[in-house]
Amino acid sequence: MLKLTTLLALVLFVPSAAAQQCEEISFSSGTTSGEVSGRVTEENPMCFTFASGAGQTAKLDLYGSDNACFTIDSVVDCQSNYSFETAQQTYKVGVYQLFPDYEAEDFTLRLTIE
């Protein structure tokens, strides 16, 4: 019984300990867009965040790779470009490989908010 309890505690702990830190997509002063670049593999997706006000239009464009896409939590899955009207909140964007591949995919993600 003790082994089962210990195993269960470890299984529950590992996902929270392995939680990925997300990089914020930032804009230079006076601009309406920002870019981030990276490299994703099947085992190493990347995570980004951005904050917006209500009623703004956010447009995301992913380029530089034919085998990567982004997902915006609770908004859209696996796109290479997407626009939507924002709420006042922080959004989480994941960049993943579209088809599993051991070769890394280089990408650039551009965010424009107007």
The pLDDT of residue 20 is 64
Q: Is residue 16 part of a domain?
A: no
Q: Which among 2, 22, 4 is positioned nearest to 73, based on CA atoms?
A: 22
CATH code, domain with 109: 2.60.120.380
Q: What range defines the domain where residue 67 resides?
A: 21-113
Domain annotation covers residue 79: yes
Is residue 71 a part of any domain in this protein? yes
Number of structural domains (the chain) is: 1
In a domain, 98, yes or no: yes
pLDDT 10s digit of each residue in the chain, 114 long? 444 333 333 333 333 334 568 999 999 888 999 999 999 998 999 999 999 999 999 999 999 999 999 999 999 999 999 999 999 999 999 999 999 888 899 999 999 999
Query: Is the separation of the CB atoms in 58 and 113 below 8 Å?
Result: yes
- Using the structure block, give the residue that is written with the tokens 């609770």: 74
Name 114's Cβ contacts closer than 8 Å, sequence gap at least 6. 32, 56, 57, 59
Q: What is the rounded CA–CA span in Å between residue 74 and residue 32? A: 23
